[in-house]
């Protein structure tokens, strides 16, 4: 008989079947679950309830400033509800057994991990995944991640990260989908669907966690953990939608962010966690803090001590304390002293137990600790194939002069750069259970694809950076970067370059240069590598740059001097194979940027959907009193939605079904897109709108739809988009989501800059 069935009988026999009013679950729940949890909570002591809201970190991965102690003893004492940073069926079973057979009530534990872009099979970092504009593949990557993670004992992932950001200095831009709230919402939904599937209790699904709630990507100066200050209008329109979309997609949990919002840290922000998230959006899962965020209310200066911090976060709507252990240590006393309402603990505990119930853990606490699955599932051939397909489709071709790409399978190449032979860097940061040993470097991918067809001369050419302080920091944070004599490295590189037909320079950031606590104030390729590129350019050989990085970079020199630039992000386990295939034309790149690449750091924040203003720049640099710089244009280097292909596409004129759109009507926008080049290729056809006159200032363009299509050479296809008045709604100053009649423009094109346009009127 399963625990789920035994437990109520045990409780009934012991006369402890109680459903006190404070336990009464909300009407949303399923009655069987409600009565099961009410019965269980009726049996629990206050300490045991508080134990359920305690999340400890144990194991081989350290993802914050501190690790938890005496975990096994705490599990036995019923002081732990969930564990993270450990996995494998054996490790999970061991701790789960302690909870089931040694703790008084045998309540199963949740097991969490940062499965962010794959678990054992690693996919491109999320910014790369987003660049695929392929929701089916993005969902598939999360599905595979869930299959692998659940086979290794996990039932909860701290993903998706849905923070919108417009600041590439912020290292965590690589963990999200970029700058656009509408697009980010689509990605958020796909990820939640992928992780949670149809049935959270299935053996191959894991619970998602929406993070970081909220506005973490708005960190001032792009510096991680710094303050966020923005208007309600801006946050509602430009930052909140992906969190809301992920809630609506049914994500089971939400993680608070490290920043403050309107002066109140997210972890103590009742408006955010209770009024907005629960009352307005109807979120029914549980809220976990980020790492030690309860404790951090003290340095924030909003809590005077740990007791205050515990009270503030519980009262705000936090249901689980990650690593601080402040709740478990202090809430009981605060309740005894009648400072904290015990009902709050009941609610938090109930929400955590509901998640466990939905995951099927009361039926079978070992459901996710199946050793056979642990052996069979991870890194299967199918998953690696999927990783390769997704990686190829995430790459963005930024430049391709004289069609130098795809390369010909003949002659010789110089494969140069500190990232050319790296297996560790290609899997990126937050690479979960991924192992460098399983990954394919660019050099390996090239050799495998090319065999004896092409002679490959390799050289490292430069250190990732010659900045010794930066190197020291990166290594202190777990990197393995060495420092070799730059002059010697350069000499070897030039020798390799001179005897080759083409130079392939694999340069950019090491994986530790983006991600958490990896903000940069200069976002170019580090100087050591730029010097290398400049020296290589002087050889006169064609120069192809293969970029690896987790953020938009400033690439003015590179764009001016390289013959081609391929953005590969950190492309995952199959990176090397995927990059080789793209370079040699086995796959035609089709990725498009979802974050603007600035010309220089002074342009930041720079994003496509900026507002109309009173003195817009009209293209005349000498028109003094216009919004522009003296020393750089307003244009980014590569706009949102940008990406080339080996083929070319042409767009016909836009055809609108009408010049008017009625209140309950719809408007069709058609355009013919043709492949005018000589390769089969995919194009992401993007549709933007602009509200020309409204009661509040509106963006110059807003993405509202896109279609990704494949066309063979000479093929043309008519595409139709449909707009309804709903697509034209916006938030007014009262934060009401409204429509206003009036003139609009619609734009369709290959990126947010190069578009065809037409006008129409919203009428009623």
* Binding residue (CB under 6 A) for ligand NOJ from 49, 74, 120, 211: 211
**Smallest distance, Å, CB 439 to ligand NOJ?**
22
The CA dihedral of 40, 41, 46, 51, to the nearest 10 degrees, is 70
**Smallest distance, Å, CB 217 to ligand NOJ?**
12
Nearer Cβ to ligand NOJ (167/516)? 516
Nearer Cβ to ligand NOJ (63/262)? 63
| Active-site residue, from 290, 308, 370, 425 | 290
Q: Do residues 618 and 650 make contact, with C-beta atoms less than 8 angstroms apart?
A: no
**Smallest distance, Å, CB 263 to ligand NOJ?**
21
Residues 521-560 as x/- pattern, contact with ligand NOJ by CB under 6 A: ----------------------------------------
**Smallest distance, Å, CB 92 to ligand NOJ?**
17
Structure-block tokens of residue 649: 């596409």
Residues 45-84 as x/- pattern, contact with ligand NOJ by CB under 6 A: ------------------xx--------------------
Residues 337-376 as x/- pattern, contact with ligand NOJ by CB under 6 A: ----------------------------------------
Strands 543-548 and 502-508: parallel
**Smallest distance, Å, CB 322 to ligand NOJ?**
7
Q: Do residues 302 and 265 make contact, with C-beta atoms less than 8 angstroms apart?
A: yes
Nearer Cβ to ligand NOJ (347/516)? 516
Nearer Cβ to ligand NOJ (112/503)? 112
Q: In angstroms, how far is the first alpha carbon of the chain from the final one? A: 63
Q: Which residue is nearest to ligand NOJ (CB)?
A: 63
- Map residue 619 onto helix, strand or coil: coil
* Binding residue (CB under 6 A) for ligand NOJ from 158, 283, 362, 383: 158
Please compute, for residue 556, the number of CA atoms within 13 A of its CA located in the half-sphere on the CB side.
9
**Smallest distance, Å, CB 291 to ligand NOJ?**
4
d(C-alpha 227, C-alpha 240), whole Å: 17
Q: Which stretch of DSSP H or E encloses residue 3?
A: helix 3-13
The DSSP annotation for 705-743 comes to EEEEEEE-TT-EEEEEEEE-GGGG-EE-TT--EE---EE
**Smallest distance, Å, CB 268 to ligand NOJ?**
17
Counting contacts by CB under 6 A, is residue 516 touching ligand NOJ? yes
Structure-block tokens of residue 391: 């990686």
With CB under 6 A as the rule, give the number of residues binding ligand NOJ: 8
Counting contacts by CB under 6 A, is residue 642 touching ligand NOJ? no
Counting contacts by CB under 6 A, is residue 665 touching ligand NOJ? no
Sign, CA torsion 152/158/159/161? negative
d(C-alpha 522, C-alpha 582), whole Å: 29
Nearer Cβ to ligand NOJ (79/257)? 257
Indicate the angle between helix axes 486-498 and 527-537, nearest 10 degrees: 30
- Please enumerate in sequence order all residues whose Cβ is within 8 A of that of 493, keeping only pairs 6 or more positions apart, or say none: 414, 416, 459, 460, 461, 462, 532, 535, 536
**Smallest distance, Å, CB 549 to ligand NOJ?**
20
Residues 85-124 as x/- pattern, contact with ligand NOJ by CB under 6 A: -----------------------------x----------
CA neighbor of 388 nearest in space, from 575, 546, 592, 547: 575
Cα–Cα distances (Å) from 130 to 171, 365, 448, 511, in that order, read: 16, 35, 28, 18
Nearer Cβ to ligand NOJ (323/489)? 323
- Please enumerate in sequence order all residues whose Cβ is within 8 A of that of 294, keeping only pairs 6 or more positions apart, or say none: 267, 309, 310, 313, 318, 321, 324, 326, 327
Nearer Cβ to ligand NOJ (158/183)? 158
Site for ligand NOJ in 264-293 (CB under 6 A): 290-291
Nearer Cβ to ligand NOJ (114/325)? 114
Alpha-helix runs per DSSP H in 477-526: 486-498
Strands 502-508 and 412-416: parallel
Active-site residue, 238 included:
no
Residues identified as active-site: 290
Give the binding site for ligand NOJ (CB under 6 A): 63-64, 114, 158, 211, 290-291, 516
């Amino acid at each position: 008989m399963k625990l789920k069935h035994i437990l109520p009988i045990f409780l009934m026999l012991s006369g402890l079947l109680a459903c006190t009013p404070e336990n009464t679950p909300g009407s949303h729940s399923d009655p069987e679950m409600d009565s099961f949890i009410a019965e269980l909570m009726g049996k629990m002591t206050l300490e045991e309830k508080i134990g359920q809201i305690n999340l400890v970190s144990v194991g081989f991965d350290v993802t914050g400033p501190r690790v938890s102690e005496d975990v096994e003893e705490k599990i036995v004492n019923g002081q732990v509800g969930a564990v993270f940073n450990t996995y494998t069926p054996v490790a999970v079973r061991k701790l789960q057994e302690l909870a089931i057979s040694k703790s008084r009530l045998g309540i199963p534990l949740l097991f969490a991990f940062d499965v962010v872009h794959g678990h054992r099979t690693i996919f491109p970092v999320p910014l790369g995944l987003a660049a695929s504009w392929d929701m089916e593949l993005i969902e598939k990557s999360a599905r595979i991640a869930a299959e692998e993670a659940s086979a290794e004992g996990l039932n909860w992932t701290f993903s998706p990260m849905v923070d919108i950001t417009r600041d590439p200095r912020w290292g965590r831009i690589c963990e999200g989908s970029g700058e656009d709230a509408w697009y980010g919402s689509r990605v958020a939904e796909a990820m939640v669907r992928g992780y949670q599937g149809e049935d959270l209790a299935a053996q191959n699904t894991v619970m998602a966690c929406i993070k970081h709630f909220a506005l973490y990507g708005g960190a001032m100066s792009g510096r991680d953990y710094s303050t966020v200050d923005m208007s309600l209008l801006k946050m509602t329109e430009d930052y909140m939608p992906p969190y809301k979309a992920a809630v609506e997609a049914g994500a089971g949990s939400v993680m608070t962010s490290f920043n403050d919002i309107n002066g109140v840290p997210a972890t103590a922000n009742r408006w955010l966690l209770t009024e907005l998230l629960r009352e307005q959006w109807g979120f029914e899962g549980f809220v976990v803090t980020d790492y030690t965020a309860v404790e951090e209310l003290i340095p924030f200066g909003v809590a005077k001590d740990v007791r205050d911090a515990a009270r503030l976060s519980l009262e705000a709507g936090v249901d689980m304390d990650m690593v601080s252990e402040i709740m478990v240590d202090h809430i009981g006393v605060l309740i005894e002293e009648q400072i904290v309402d015990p009902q709050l603990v009941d609610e938090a505990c109930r929400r955590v137990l509901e998640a466990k119930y939905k995951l099927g853990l009361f039926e079978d606490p070992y459901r996710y600790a199946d050793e056979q699955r642990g052996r069979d599932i991870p890194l299967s051939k199918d998953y690696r194939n999927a990783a390769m397909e997704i990686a190829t489709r995430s790459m963005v071709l930024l430049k391709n002069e004289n069609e130098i790409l795809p390369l010909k399978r003949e002659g010789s190449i110089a494969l140069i750069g500190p990232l050319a032979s790296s297996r560790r860097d290609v899997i990126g940061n937050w690479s979960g259970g991924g192992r460098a040993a399983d990954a394919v470097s660019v050099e390996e991918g090239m050799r495998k694809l090319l065999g004896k067809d092409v002679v490959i001369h390799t050289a490292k050419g430069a250190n990732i950076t010659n900045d010794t302080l930066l190197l020291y920091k990166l290594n202190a944070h777990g990197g393995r970067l060495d420092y070799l004599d730059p002059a010697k490295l350069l000499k070897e590189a030039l020798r390799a370059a001179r005897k080759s037909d083409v130079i392939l320079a694999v340069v950019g950031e090491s994986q530790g240069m983006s991600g958490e606590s990896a903000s940069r104030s200069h976002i170019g390729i580090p100087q050591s590598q730029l010097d290398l590129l400049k020296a290589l350019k002087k050889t006169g050989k064609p120069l192809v740059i293969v970029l690896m990085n987790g953020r938009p970079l400033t690439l003015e020199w590179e764009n001016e001097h390289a013959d081609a630039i391929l953005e590969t992000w950190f492309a995952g386990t199959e990176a090397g194979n995927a990059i080789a295939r793209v370079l040699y034309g086995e796959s035609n790149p089709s990725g498009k940027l979802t974050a603007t690449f600035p010309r220089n750091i002074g342009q930041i924040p720079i994003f496509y959907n900026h507002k109309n203003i009173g003195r817009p720049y009209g293209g005349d640099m000498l028109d003094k009193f216009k919004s522009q710089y003296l020393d750089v244009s307003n244009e980014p280097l590569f706009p949102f939605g940008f990406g080339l292909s080996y083929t070319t596409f042409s767009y016909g004129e836009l055809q609108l079904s009408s010049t008017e759109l009625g209140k309950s009507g719809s408007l069709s926008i058609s355009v013919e897109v043709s492949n005018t080049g000589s390769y089969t290729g995919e194009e992401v056809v993007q549709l933007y709108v602009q509200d020309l006159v409204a009661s509040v200032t509106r963006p110059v363009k807003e993405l509202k739809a896109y279609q990704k299509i494949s066309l063979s050479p000479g093929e043309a296809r008519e595409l139709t988009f449909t707009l309804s008045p709903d697509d034209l709604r916006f938030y007014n100053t009262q934060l009401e989501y409204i429509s206003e009649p009036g003139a609009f423009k619609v734009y369709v094109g290959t990126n947010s800059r190069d578009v065809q346009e037409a006008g129409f009127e919203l009428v009623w």
